[in-house]
Amino acid sequence: MKILITNIKELLQVRDITTDKVSGAEMAVLPKIDNAYLLIEDNLIADFGPMDNCPIPDVDLNIDATGKTVLPAWVDSHTHIVYAGNRVQEFADRINGLSYEEIANRGGGILNSAKKLNETSEEEIYNQSKIRLEEVMQQGTGAVEIKSGYGLTVDGELKMLRVIKKLAENHPIKIKATFLGAHAFPMEYKENHSAYLDLIINEMLPKIAEEKLADYIDAFLETGYFSVEETERIMIAGKQYGLVPKIHVNQFTAINGIEACVKHGALSVDHLEIVTDEDIEVLKNSITMPVALPSCSYFISIPYTPARKMITAGLPLALATDFNPGTTPSGNMNFVVATACIKMKMTPEEAINAATINGAYAMGISATHGSITKGKHANLIITKPLTSYYQLPYAFGSNLIDQVIIEGQVI
Give pLDDT tens digits for 329-363.
999 999 999 999 999 999 999 999 999 999 999 99
3-class SS of residue 271: strand
Give pLDDT tens digits for 71-80.
999 999 999 9
Instruction: Quickly count: other Cβ atoms within 10 Å of residue 398's Cβ.
Output: 12
State mean pLDDT over 83-99.
88
Q: Are 105 and 343 a contacting pair, CB within 8 Å?
A: no
What is the structure's pLDDT at 90? 86
What is the structure's pLDDT at 104? 79
What is the structure's pLDDT at 35? 98
Using alpha carbons, list the distances in angstroms from residue 383 to 141, 353, 392, 400: 13, 17, 9, 6
What is the structure's pLDDT at 259? 97
Give the least confident one: 24-33, 131-140, 184-193, 371-380. Answer: 184-193
CA 9 to CA 69: how far, in whole Å?
6
What is the structure's pLDDT at 331? 97
What is the structure's pLDDT at 94? 86
CA 218 to CA 269: how far, in whole Å?
10
What is the structure's pLDDT at 244? 98
What is the structure's pLDDT at 159? 97
| Closest listed residue to residue 13, CA positions, set 67, 69, 72 | 72
Q: ∠356-243-246 over CA atoms, to 5°?
A: 45
Name the burial class of residue 73, with classes exposed (0-12), middle (13-18) and buried (19+) by CB atoms within 10 angstroms of its CB: buried
**What percentage of the chain reaches a pLDDT higher than 70?**
100
Chain centre distance of CA 304: 17
Q: Is the pLDDT of residue 235 over 80?
A: yes
What is the structure's pLDDT at 99? 84
Q: Which residues are CB-neighbours of 253 under 8 A, at least 6 positions away?
A: 222, 223, 274
Q: Is the pLDDT of residue 107 over 80?
A: no
**What percentage of the chain reaches a pLDDT higher than 90?**
89
Q: How confident is the model at residue 254 (pLDDT cuts 50, 70, 90)?
A: very high
Q: Is the pLDDT of residue 225 over 90?
A: yes
